[in-house]
Chains A and B, each alone.
Chain A
Amino acid sequence: DIQMTQSPSSLSASVRDRVTITCRASQGIGNDLGWYQQKPGQGPQRLIYAVSNLQSGVPSRFSGSGSGTEFTLTISSLQPEDFATYYCLQHFRYPFTFGQGTKLEIK
């Protein structure tokens, strides 16, 4: 199975901060990498697909980058509604696997 190692597991930040979350795959996954946001009591929402493509309706402060085995999600200027948990997903090979999650909290 492909392991997705996500870091950090938690992060405290302030409004208007720039934050970066990283996912490392245990083997190459091509472009088959997405990022998801989950708020308490809600289903996840996809933010980024194919490493760097912004889902329709998602604010442009979210961006994704990377290649091979290392990928990042960047939020350029945190807004109050961005405090949530974030997950990466590889869908290159079955079983599809998620990172462990990053809980982004208000400092």
Chain B
Amino acid sequence: EVQLVESGGSLVQPGGSLRLSCGASGFPFINFWMSWVRQAPGKGLEWVANIKQDGSETYYADSVKGRFTISKDNAKNLVYLQMNSLRVEDTAVYYCARNRYFDFWGRGTLVTVSS
């Protein structure tokens, strides 16, 4: 059974940093692209970033480019989202998803950016 479990969300001040993690199990992690998608409170879904199987290619939404970094550890079955220079508008539930087209999702982790 495919499982994705996000962690690392918390309350952080504007300008701060946070690293999210997503642990994967139930499938050959090394063979899959991985993605992050977010959802602001009461709003719709927004694609954030994704990373190729071997980490050689990454893509970002313009809203996070230059501030967020996605990475993948195939030895530990983990995907990360390093978030720097956080803004109030980054407040959201962050979901980890398998593949570029999100065929399986985790339950999400809440990031709140507030002073």
Contact = CB atoms under 8 A, between A and B. Distances in A.
Interface of A: 32, 34, 36, 38, 42-46, 49, 55, 87, 89, 91, 94-101
By CB atoms of chain B within 10 A, which of A34, A42, A98 has the most? A98
A101 to B, nearest CB: 5
Nearest to A44: B105
Contacts of B59: 94-95
Given A43-B106, A43-B108, A94-B59, A87 B44 contact: yes
Interface of B: 44-47, 59, 61-62, 95, 100-108
Given A43-B95, A44-B95, A98 B47 contact: yes
By CB atoms of chain A within 10 A, which of B45, B46, B47 has the most? B45
Given A87-B44, A95-B62, A98-B47, A42 B104 contact: no
The interface residues of chain A, by DSSP majority, are classed as: loop
Contacts of B47: 95-98
Given A43-B106, A44-B95, A95-B62, A89 B44 contact: no
Contacts, number: 49
A34 B100 CA distance: 11
A98 B61 CA distance: 13
B104 to A, nearest CB: 7
A45 B101 contact: no
A22 B105 CA distance: 23
Contacts of B103: 46, 49, 55
B105 A49 contact: no
Contacts of A97: 47
A91 B105 contact: no
A36 B103 CA distance: 9
Given A49-B101, A91-B100, A98 B106 contact: no
